[in-house]
Amino acid sequence: MSEYPRLRYAMDEVRAAGKSLAGPVYFTRQNNADAIAIFSIANSWRDSHIYPMRSIRASVRIAMRQASIRGDMAARPKRMSSIRRKLAETTIRLDQMQDLGGCRAILNDIDGVNRLVERVRERCPHVIRKEWDYIQKPKDDGYRSHHLSMEFTPAKQEDESYAGRRIELQVRTRLQHSWATAIEAVSLYRNQDLKHHKGDGDWLRLFELASAEFAHVERSPLPAGVPDRAERIKELKDLNAKLGAVSMLQNIKAATHFAENFTHDRGRYYLLRYRPDHTVKIETYMGTFSATGALELAERAIEVGESQDKVVLVEVDKIDKLVSTYPNYFGDVSLFIRNLQLACSGQSGIEYTLAPQEVVRPKEVQQPDYGALRRRYTRWIEPRR
């Protein structure tokens, strides 16, 4: 059996499942079998993007290494809740989505972003279908990143079944990443969807103005319609005081709990579960099938109302990189806070901090008992599959 999932259904079945997912799907006694079939087809289509996603991630990682571009990379299959929202709110079909698999490069500065994008254009073995430069032309809400829609081009005949799978590559600076993940962290904490413009208008405005300040620091174009810098700083300062934004952002970190000491179970994939009580559970998987199966079960529990967790399956180079690549799930908004404070005081921000927070900091003991340590944290880390 292949190490990676392949599509088990016909494309007309994928399109039909996508149409169903755009509306309500009920897991009732009468409809349970149909509902399970719909999600099974959709999951099979999403899972068939895992191998192309890993291949494109590897190609970009090589490009970074060859050009001595420093940064982190992560990859993830798109969450089913996000798939369903896009199907419901747009005219795009399930088989047309370009981000069912996503790779993200988080680099230290704008120069690194520009160099990596150029190198991918010149040397990546996969086809670039389209680009969206949200750094030169930021979104109205302040979002900034460079997106490339990549089409997987197989190098071996046995990989032909994956040909044409579309993977989205996001290339951004750490400062841009701090903005994007801070808005998601606030959304998780407040149970609002600020990322998709749903929620408190004052928070949305604060993030828009903060984005303009971050663009100013990076000497990049500002989002359209923001006031000049003096007026912008005054409004940002007033919003921070009104919302108690810095204090609330600091509370997000204090309220989010995960294992303080945590064994280095080596894995390829990590399933992050963000729970309503702000606790985070991390499950480690070596195999692709076990990882995607766990994601499907977790999302099924959410669909039927048995769970209120927010879940995401991620792939990173090392477990230590979980916080730096997905800080929203860990409440780590320190870089955003620091730059917001600087902006409110009229000072220029910083592009990158040299002391990122670590996930793992084991306690020092003279003669560690690793067996006891593993038993102690069984409730946090699942055994390897």
Taking every pair of Cα atoms in the chain, the longest distance, rounded to a whole number of angstroms, is: 62
3-state SS of the chain? Answer: CCCCCCCCCCHHHHHHHHHHHCCCCCCCCCCHHHHHHHHHHHHHHHHCCHHHHHHHHHHHHHHHHHCCCCEEEEEEECCHHHHHHHHHHCCCCHHHCCCCEEEEEEECCHHHHHHHHHHHHHHCCCEEEEEEECCCCCCCCCCCCEEEEEECCCCCHHHHHHCCCEEEEEEEEHHHHHHHHHHHHHHHHHCCEHHHCECCHHHHHHHHHHHHHHHHHCCCCCCCCCCCHHHHHHHHHHHHHHHCHHHHHHHHHHHCECCCCCCCCCCCEEEEEECCCCEEEEEEECCHHHHHHHHHHHHHHHHCCCCCCEEEEEEECCHHHHHHHCHHHHCCCHHHHHHHHHHHCCCCCCCCCCCCCCCCCCCCCCCCCHHHHHHHCCCCECCCC
> Given this model, what pLDDT does residue 348 score?
81
Where are the chain's structural domains? 11-352
Mean pLDDT of the chain: 88
Per mean pLDDT, which range of 149-158, 288-297, 317-326, 335-344 is the poorest? 317-326
This prediction has a pTM of 0.88
> Given this model, what pLDDT does residue 122 score?
93
> What sign does the CA torsion over 7, 294, 269, 100 have?
positive
Q: What is the dihedral of CA 220, 224, 229, 232, to 10 degrees?
A: -130
Per mean pLDDT, which range of 73-82, 84-93, 163-172, 359-368 is the poorest? 359-368
**For 295-304, what is each residue's pLDDT tens digit?**
999 999 999 9
> What are residue 289's phi and psi, to 5 degrees?
-65, -40
CA pair distance 27, 25, nearest whole angstrom: 7
> Given this model, what pLDDT does residue 265 score?
62
> Given this model, what pLDDT does residue 264 score?
54
Q: Give me the mean pLDDT over the 73-100 stretch.
A: 96
**For 150-168, what is each residue's pLDDT tens digit?**
999 999 999 999 999 999 9
> Given this model, what pLDDT does residue 245 score?
96
Q: Give me the mean pLDDT over the 38-61 stretch.
A: 97
pLDDT of 270 over the 50 cut: yes
Residue-level length of the chain? 385
The more confidently predicted of residues 362 and 32 is 32
When pLDDT is cut at 50, 70 and 90, the band that residue 258 belongs to is low
> Given this model, what pLDDT does residue 287 score?
93
> Given this model, what pLDDT does residue 205 score?
97
The CATH number given to 11-352 is 3.30.460.10
Per mean pLDDT, which range of 134-143, 222-231, 316-325 is the poorest? 316-325
Q: What angle do CA 60, 65, 66 make, to 5 degrees?
A: 95
> Given this model, what pLDDT does residue 357 score?
41
Q: Give me the mean pLDDT over the 48-62 stretch.
A: 96
- Residue 160's identity, in one-letter code, is E
> What are residue 190's phi and psi, to 5 degrees?
-95, -5
When pLDDT is cut at 50, 70 and 90, the band that residue 353 belongs to is low
Q: What angle do CA 328, 313, 210 make, to 5 degrees?
A: 20
Are 319 and 359 contacting, i.e. CB atoms less than 8 angstroms apart? yes
Pairing mode of beta strands 310-316, 280-285? unpaired
3-state SS of 188-229? Answer: HHHCCEHHHCECCHHHHHHHHHHHHHHHHHCCCCCCCCCCCH
> What sign does the CA torsion over 6, 12, 15, 16 have?
negative
The more confidently predicted of residues 154 and 265 is 154
